[in-house]
Amino acid sequence: MTDHLYAPWRQEFILDAKRQAKDEGCIFCKPETRKHVRELILHRGQTAFVVLNRYPYNAGHLMVVPYRHVALLPALKSAERREIMDLVALASEILVELQNPAGINVGMNLGRAAGAGIDGHLHVHLVPRWVGDNNFLPVLFDTRVISVDLRAMHRKLKAAFARHTKRK
């Protein structure tokens, strides 16, 4: 007999991906008009923004996204590259302050073959990690347990970004 694990968050991700493909629109472009992105934005910079991932690998999974629709690093302007890295550094600082992770995975999946779910608009992932946070569920069943409410995490992170950017 086959056991089944219920992971409803995956269905929402699949339906959103289908909707996006149907609309032929990029979820990261014009984030001010896309409610599901806009409501999770933590910080807006000049050329890029920081957003909480709606489908996180771990609690506090953030993304740094340029406003411009760019698929590959060489297409970024130097000001965009600088600000993206500055925002990655700021987001890392805030994640350490709020969550005290043992480490943070920082990376990009450039192109569908590299694992990009949204391959036309590059974005940098920041995933806080703790020793032992990966158990058998994601390895065997492609199921993750996220123990922190997305809205509560958003409120804490948004307040931290506001505090940090006022200091600078």
Q: For residue range 27-63, what is the model confidence (pLDDT) as tens digits?
A: 888 877 777 678 899 999 999 999 999 888 888 999 9
Residue among 20, 23, 112, 30 at smallest CA distance from 71: 112
The pLDDT value recorded for residue 21 is 47
Distance CA 22, CA 134 (A): 34
Q: What percent of the chain has pLDDT over 70?
A: 74
pLDDT per residue as tens digits for the range 59-85: 899 999 999 999 999 999 999 999 999
Q: Which amino acid is at 164?
A: H
Distance CA 138, CA 136 (A): 6
pTM to 2 decimal places: 0.75
Q: Are strands 62-66 and 48-52 parallel, antiparallel or unpaired?
A: antiparallel
The pLDDT value recorded for residue 131 is 84
Residue tagged active-site, from 43, 61, 123, 154: 123
Residue among 154, 70, 59 at smallest CA distance from 118: 70
Is 43 a residue of the active site? no
Beta carbons of 59 and 122 less than 8 angstroms apart? no
